[in-house]
Amino acid sequence: MSTVFPDGFLWGVAFAANQAEGSYDADGKGLSQADVVPFGKDLDYVDLHEAMSPSPERIARAVETPGIAGYPKRNGSQHYTHWEEDVELFAELGIRALRMSIAWTRIFPTGVETEPNEAGLAFYERLFTRLRERGIEPVVTMSHYEMPLHLVTEYDGWAGREVVTHFERYARTIITRYRGLVKYWLTFNEINTTTIEPYTGGGVVNSGVGDRTQRAHQALHHQYVASALATTLVHEIDPDAQVGCMLARMLHYPASSDPRDVQQAQHDNDLNLSHTDVQVRGAYPGIVRRFWRDSGIEVRMAPGDEQILAAGTVDFLSFSYYMTLVSAVDPSKYGATGGNLFSTIKNPHLPTSEWGWHLDPVGIRIALTDLWTRYQVPLFIVENGLGASDTVEADGSIRDEYRIDYMQKHLTQVAEAVADGVELMGYTCWGGIDIVSASTSQMTKRYGVIHVDLDDHGQGTGARTPKASFHWYRELIANNGAQL
């Protein structure tokens, strides 16, 4: 059987520190903003959005609540204590890359210390060393929905310019310490989330309607600057390493062939891609400046910011792909309940997941082709997977055929894009082991090919069990995708 995937293609799995590690206060770790996000059903939160955007009062209450009760991310999937077992399972799976993130709070517990926490640095050094011994390349995100809580309460997260300096020190510390151990860095996970969900993406606290949008865009600008500075630092400190940006690719289809719908979809796509425009091309596109003008947003730039953006362009573009969206000039005509940016129009051609996300394998091929045509830089799919509530059978097995079907269909389309000449570095499925979901804080929205015995309240043995999808994926990696 032949394959279209190049030798050395980085097959792997992906997860984030704040959703996987747990041990939220071990070995000097500080509280992060993710550690205070509660599980929606627990603490009388009716609205998930509200749970994800806590007020200062709710944050203060969360800080006073010790342990994991109501805060599942504090427990994660116990990767911090199970990491050796996890690495052995990943080695058995045959992966060549593990995309993971460093918890900033393990290195600088409040973000403002001048000296790093050695115990935190040593943890990741042990992990990276072991991964490399097992032939697994670490692909490391510097900031994945996680920042020291102190920076949130002190500066309103990334809305405060001071955070750029604190991040730069953090970035310099980890790049220097892991020189030679980490060859692939990503700066910010799904950087576009900062404008969609400002607390998750940027630590911007919800203080009501007011100027939240303004502050979210200011926070995003600071992240771009910090990302460019970190990219330049990697290039200076470890010239053998490469840096990528990371976008939640949200492909928009027009609801009809009405040119106004087509133009609306193009506009929504261009706004989504404006994030990679800044990070790949090194400058804001006109569409963003117009968006600021039309929305009355004023982004303050410090002298030299534009030069920093231009100098710190990335080497490759990584992205997550879960679903596609539908755009219309009049969304209500198509039954939408929300706005255009995060459209709720149903696509009649696509099924949805248990959580209502459109399932669209062909869309991943379109996304790849589009990105390649636009940027001509190597691409890397660093998240793709199905959130589902798995059942453990009486014999202990997990027969997740639906996940196999999802991966098989998506990877078939990925193979088509590669056959068309798209330069793709790798594919890391989300999440390897089951982890706490980012948007719902549920453990039962499972993504892993390895089951973790923990429930939404962090209860369970923490035991790891390969699912049916583990065996399917192992086979696929072993033959480099030839069976697709």
Question: Which of the residues are catalytic?
Answer: 383
Assess contact for 185 and 244: CB atoms under 8 A: yes
Segment 229 to 248, residues that bind ligand BGP, using CB under 6 A: 248
Minimum CB distance to ligand BGP, residue 446 (Å):
10
- Binders of ligand BGP in range 291-350 (CB under 6 A): 320
> Within 9-28, which residues bind ligand BGP (CB under 6 A)?
16, 19
The residue count for binding ligand BGP (CB under 6 A) is 15
Q: Shortest Cβ distance from residue 439 to ligand BGP (Å)?
A: 3
- Which residues ranging from 261 to 280 are in contact with ligand BGP (CB under 6 A)? none
Q: Which one of 21, 146, 156, 190 is in contact with ligand BGP (CB under 6 A)?
A: 190
Minimum gap (Å) between residue 175 Cβ and ligand BGP: 22
Closest CB 308 distance from ligand BGP, rounded Å:
25
Q: Which is nearer to ligand BGP, 19 or 187 (CB)?
A: 19
**Residue 290 buriedness (CB in 10 A; 0-12 / 13-18 / 19+):** exposed
**Measured CA distances, 119 to 33, 106, 109, 253, 358 (Å):** 21, 8, 11, 48, 42
Query: Using CA atoms, how far apart are residues 315 and 285, in angstroms rounded to an integer?
Result: 19
What is the distance between the alpha carbons of residues 226 and 219, in angstroms, rounded to a whole number? 10
Q: Which two tokens stand for residue 78?
A: 């116990």
Q: What is the closest distance, in whole angstroms, from the C-beta atom of residue 204 to ligand BGP in the complex? A: 17
* Cβ at position 34, least distance to ligand BGP in Å: 10
DSSP for 192-248 reads THHHHSHHHHH------STTHHHHHHHHHHHHHHHHHHHHHHHHHH-TT-EEEEEEE
Q: Indicate the angle between helix axes 118-133 and 162-177, nearest 10 degrees.
A: 50
Question: Please, which residue, 268 or 416, has the CB nearer to ligand BGP?
Answer: 268
- Residue 377 or 438: the one with the smaller Cβ distance to ligand BGP is 438
- Residue at 89: amino acid letter: L
Work out the number of other CB atoms within 10 angstroms of the CB of residue 391: 9
Q: Minimum CB separation from ligand BGP for residue 134, in Å? A: 24
The reply to whether 456 sits near ligand BGP by the rule CB under 6 A is no
Of 329 and 451, nearer to ligand BGP (C-beta) is 451
Per-residue binding string, ligand BGP, 403-432, x by CB under 6 A, is ---------------------------x--
Q: How far apart are CA 134 and CA 326, in angstroms?
A: 43
Q: Say how many Å lie between the first and final Cα of the chain, rounded.
A: 10
Binding positions for ligand BGP, 357-396, rule CB under 6 A: 383, 387
- Name residues contacting ligand BGP, limited to 428-447 (CB under 6 A): 430, 437-440, 445
Cβ-contact 301, 228 below 8 angstroms: no
Residue closer to ligand BGP (CB basis): 334 or 430: 430
Q: Is the dihedral of CA 35, 39, 42, 46 positive or negative?
A: positive
Nearer Cβ to ligand BGP, position 303 or 356?
A: 356
Q: How far apart are CA 15 and CA 443, in angstroms?
A: 13
For residue 73, what are its two tokens? 């991310």
Please tell me the distance from the alpha carbon of residue 395 to that of residue 465, in angstroms, as a whole number: 12
Measured from the CB atom, the residue of 361 and 387 that comes closer to ligand BGP is: 387
Which residue's CB comes closest to ligand BGP?
Answer: 439
Query: Least distance (Å) from ligand BGP to the CB of residue 387?
Result: 4
Residue 309 DSSP SS3: helix
Rounded CA gap, 484 and 476, in Å? 8
Q: Which of 105, 143, 187, 189 binds ligand BGP (CB under 6 A)?
A: 189
Q: Which residue has the tokens 């459209």?
A: 343
- Give whichever of 45 and 430 is closer to ligand BGP, judged by the CB atom: 430
Site string for ligand BGP, 65-84 (x = CB under 6 A): --------------------
- Kindly state the smallest distance separating residue 410's Cβ from ligand BGP, in Å: 14
Give the contact letters, 105-144, x = binds to ligand BGP (CB under 6 A), - = no.
Answer: ----------------------------------------
Residue 133 CB-density burial (10 A; 0-12 exposed, 13-18 middle, 19+ buried): exposed
Closer residue to ligand BGP (CB): 178 or 447: 447
Partner residues linked to 251 by β-bridges: 324
Site residues for ligand BGP per CB under 6 A: 16, 19, 145, 189-190, 248, 320, 383, 387, 430, 437-440, 445
